[in-house]
Structure 1
Amino acid sequence: MRARHHFHIDHLGHSVSVTVQTGHAPVVEVLVDGKETGHATGQDDRPVTVTIELPTDPPTPVTVRATPGPGVPRCLLLGTADEEPHVMAPRPY
């Protein structure tokens, strides 16, 4: 059964939103400031990573890691190597 889960975080002055569609082949879509900047398809409950750039000067590369299951999906925003991962808050829609 497929379900959609939404996550959000404000990072470096930019809005990062993620939609995780669960199921046999989970789909992860990433929007930065309302524009789609990345997407990926995974397998089963394995984590899915999507590398994106935030439109800073110079652009800042970050990675979104979504874990579709088991259970409730989770989503992290991973910045630089010396930075702690940021837990993205779930959003009900």
Structure 2
Amino acid sequence: MRARHHFHIEYGGHSVSATVQTGDPGVVEVLVDGKETGNVTTHDDRPVTVHVELPAEPPIPVTVRAMPGPGVPRCLLLVPEEPEPHVMAPRIF
């Protein structure tokens, strides 16, 4: 059964949102400041990464790591040179 889960975080003055659609195949879509900047197809419950950039001068490369399962999906924002990942909060639409 397919389900859509939404996640969000504010980082460095930018809005980063992710939608995880479960199922086989599933999809992870990432929006930065409301614009789709990356997507990837998932298979099974394996974690996937989506590399995107935050618009700055120079652009800041970041990675969204999505764990579609098992159980409830989760998303993290990974920023280079920062040792701890940032947990993206679930959003209800």
Identity %: 74
Deviation at 1:4, TM superposition (A): 0.1
Secondary structure at the residue paired with 1:19?
Answer: strand
Could you say what the CA RMSD is over the residues aligned between the two structures, in angstroms?
0.8
Q: Which runs of 5+ in 2 are unaligned?
A: none
> Superposed, which structure 2 residues align to 1:1-93 within 5 Å?
1-93=1-93
Q: Which runs of 5+ in 1 are unaligned?
A: none
Secondary structure at the residue paired with 2:24?
Answer: coil
TM-score, structure 1 as length reference = 0.97
Moved over 2 A (4+): none
* Cα distance in 2 for residues equivalent to 1:81 and 1:26: 30
**Equivalent residue pairs, number:** 93
